[in-house]
Amino acid sequence: MSNIQGGCLCGAVRYEIEGAPMGVGVCYCRDCQYATGGAQNYVALFPRTAFRITKGEPRRFTSKADSGKNITRVFCADCGTPLYSDPADGPMLPVKVGGLDDPAAVTPGLALYTASAQPWHLRHEGIPSFEKMPGG
């Protein structure tokens, strides 16, 4: 995986990422549940410098993360597809796996905020799981 592409459902926003993800995870926090409409959220972590928008202008919504710092959720203004999150001071971007052109190419390697998971959420057995953010 050296050049990854993705975008939104309607095609108004497209992006390109150079290189492989640093990791892939599943998040069960309430903010992610809101962003997905109830489900857990799958993200692939990439260096900020490897990511670029190639088409369109996504919309942004900023709120406070569990850390108390701002986090911006980036999505298509036309179809609402969640694209990625933009932590205020982080060198990495969590890119939503569902927006990748080939989401089957990645597999979650850890689970975060399992304490916030709904009883009906599917769980991934055999991967490291954390009730909140590790080290947080």
What CATH number did the domain enclosing 75 receive?
2.170.150.70
For residue 108, being part of any structural domain is answered with: yes
Q: In what order do the strands lie in the sheet with 14-18?
A: 3-7, 14-18, 51-55
Residue 76 clears pLDDT 80, i.e. is over it = yes
Range of the domain at 97: 3-116
Residue 29's CB is within 10 A of a number of other CB atoms, namely 20
Residue 125 lies in a domain: no
Place of tokens 């179809």: 79
**41 located within any domain:** yes
Q: Is the pLDDT of residue 103 over 60?
A: yes
Distance of CA 48 to the CA centre of its chain: 13
C-beta of residue 85 within 8 angstroms of C-beta of residue 73: yes
Average pLDDT over residues 15-36: 94
Decide: 44 and 21 in contact? Cβ < 8 Å. yes
- Examine the pLDDT at 43 and tell me if it is beyond 70: yes
Measured between alpha carbons, how far is 30 from 7 in angstroms, rounded to an integer? 24
Does residue 127 belong to any structural domain of this protein?
A: no
pLDDT band of residue 88 (cuts 50, 70, 90) is confident
pTM of the model: 0.92
Residue 23 belongs to a domain? yes
**What average pLDDT is seen over the chain?**
94
- Total tally of structural domains belonging to the chain: 1
In this predicted structure, what is the pLDDT of residue 1?
Answer: 46
Percentage of residues of the chain with pLDDT beyond 90: 88
Would residue 92 count as lying in a domain?
Answer: yes
The rounded distance, in Å, linking the Cα atoms of 35 and 82 is 7
Query: Among residues 47, 26, 44, which one has the least CA distance to residue 84?
Result: 44
